[in-house]
Amino acid sequence: MAESRSLPTGFGEREVLAVGIVLLVEALIGLSLNGWSILSFCKNPELQTPGRLLVLSLALADSGISLNALVAATSSLLRHWPYGPDGCQAHGFQGFATALASICSSAAIAWGRYYDHCTRSRLAWNMAVTLVLFVWLSSAFWAALPLLGWGHYDYEPLGTCCTLEYSRGDRNFTSFLFTMAFFNFILPLFITHTSYRLMEQKLRKTGHPQVPALIAKMVPTINAVNYALGSEMVHRGTWQCLSPQRSERYRAQ
């Protein structure tokens, strides 16, 4: 049980408390920014496009990561894990599933932007919905495998949150880790890099060299700023959320 575990060498209650505070701040900022992105999408019809659906998927995934961090922050502030072994498995599954969904959503956004800017077609709703469903079903599938015996969730060294037990070196976990990493890290990174690279080449030929950032952002706060809150359309949606009367006049026009 995590309640009876001793802390790793070099860690005391102050260090655990500091970790809890950092996680709490990170979780609250991530929830606030991504929650505002989700609200803007729901409130502003202009944002409700197939491409923005992929951004919504990313915001939902990063909100899930922030919720996971909030649970870890709570247990860190309590100096122990209060939710028992079953809670540890649920926490590990939820955190891993949303982390994978965030990575794959970033790759989907990159591919969607390439499709919109570099082909003669536009991203359709049915294709965007299919991408989102695939991202979440695939993430849930890989996150469920440790619950079924391939891989393993366990307490992190501080004993205040749960994740994959990376310290295991047996064949079971090694085979899971390398297979999972190929499909959920290497492949999304390849898709992201290739999509932005091809888009850069296309835009250079057309005389418009500006392209989005190459690296897929995986930190919830950075994702919210980079993909959602940095958008002019989201700024407009935010203003409409804050000014309902102005929003009604805008739609009437």
Q: What is the pLDDT of residue 1?
A: 41
Q: What is the pLDDT of residue 230?
A: 46
Mean pLDDT by 10 residues, the chain (253 residues): 54 78 88 88 87 91 92 88 92 94 92 86 92 96 95 86 83 91 92 87 66 39 48 46 47 46
Q: What is the pLDDT of residue 7?
A: 61
Q: What is the pLDDT of residue 100?
A: 93
Q: What is the pLDDT of residue 223?
A: 54
To the question of domain 16-205 being in CATH 3.40.50.720, the answer is: no
Contacts of 3 (CB under 8 A, 6+ apart): 80, 81, 82, 159
Q: Which of 42, 13, 21, 195 is nearest to 112 (CA)?
A: 195
The domain limits of the chain are 16-205
* Contacts of range 180-184, beta carbons closer than 8 Å, 24 or more positions apart: 180/142, 180/145, 180/151, 183/138, 183/142, 184/100, 184/103, 184/104, 184/138, 184/139, 184/142
Q: What is the pLDDT of residue 203?
A: 75
Q: How far apart are CA 143 and CA 145, in angstroms?
A: 6
Predicted TM-score of the model (pTM): 0.80
DSSP bridge pairs for 154: 163
Q: How far apart are CA 149 and CA 173, in angstroms?
A: 9
